């Protein structure tokens, strides 16, 4: 397979996956952008979590993340509490209302994964994960 074809296949997969998830989130009528959903997922997975953790994970500047976090706090989906180890930062956590959304989104994610993995063997999935992780590592190592 040519390098061009491999890159196009990856672009196509990423585009179709993002479109699928975006469409499903819109159908839920949550009134939030997909980036807000990503932030909530990060906060749910990484405990404790700060805005710097989110900025680092998303490779976004702190100002962008601060705006996203502020909106989620205003909507009652996350809260912040002082970080005892660093007076300049806060720990973020998901509220009960936010957890209801996380649970709903987790179901959507599971359905999407199921559709995407249809007709793939466990070996193919393992090999894909290995190759995708290696490609991501290669790209990250070039950035530093």
User: What is each CA distance from 131 to 45, 89, 94, in whole angstroms?
Assistant: 24, 36, 33
Tell me the pLDDT tens digit for each residue of 118-144: 999 999 999 999 999 998 888 888 765
**SS3 at position 79:** strand
What distance in Å separates the CA atoms of residue 110 and residue 108, rounded to the nearest whole number?
5
Question: What is the pLDDT, as a whole number, of residue 5?
Answer: 84
DSSP character at residue 56: H
Which segments in the chain show pLDDT lower than 50? 1
Collapsing DSSP to helix, strand or coil, 85 comes out as coil
Contact predicate 112/17, CB 8 Å: yes
Helix locations, the chain, DSSP H: 3-27, 34-45, 51-58, 62-74, 96-117, 122-143
SS3 call for 73: helix
- Tell me, what's the pLDDT at 80? 95
Q: How far apart are CA 27 and CA 140, in angstroms?
A: 34
Model pLDDT, residue 106 = 92
Instruction: Report the pLDDT value the prediction gives residue 144, as an integer from 0 to 100.
Output: 56
At residue 69, the pLDDT reads 96
Largest CA distance in the chain: 53
Counted residue by residue, the chain has a size of: 144
């Amino acid at each position: 397979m040519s390098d061009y074809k491999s890159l196009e296949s990856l672009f196509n997969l990423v585009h179709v996956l993002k479109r699928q998830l975006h469409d499903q989130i819109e159908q839920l009528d949550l009134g939030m952008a997909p980036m807000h959903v990503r932030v909530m997922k990060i906060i749910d997975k990484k405990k404790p979590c700060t805005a710097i953790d989110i900025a680092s994970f998303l490779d976004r500047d702190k100002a962008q993340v601060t705006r996203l976090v502020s909106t989620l706090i205003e909507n009652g989906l996350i809260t912040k509490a002082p970080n005892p180890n660093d007076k300049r930062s806060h720990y973020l956590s998901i509220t009960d209302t936010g957890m209801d959304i996380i649970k709903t989104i987790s179901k959507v994610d599971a359905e999407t994964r199921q559709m995407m993995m249809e007709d793939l063997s466990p070996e193919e999935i393992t090999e894909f994960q290995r190759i995708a992780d290696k490609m991501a590592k290669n790209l990250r190592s070039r950035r530093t």
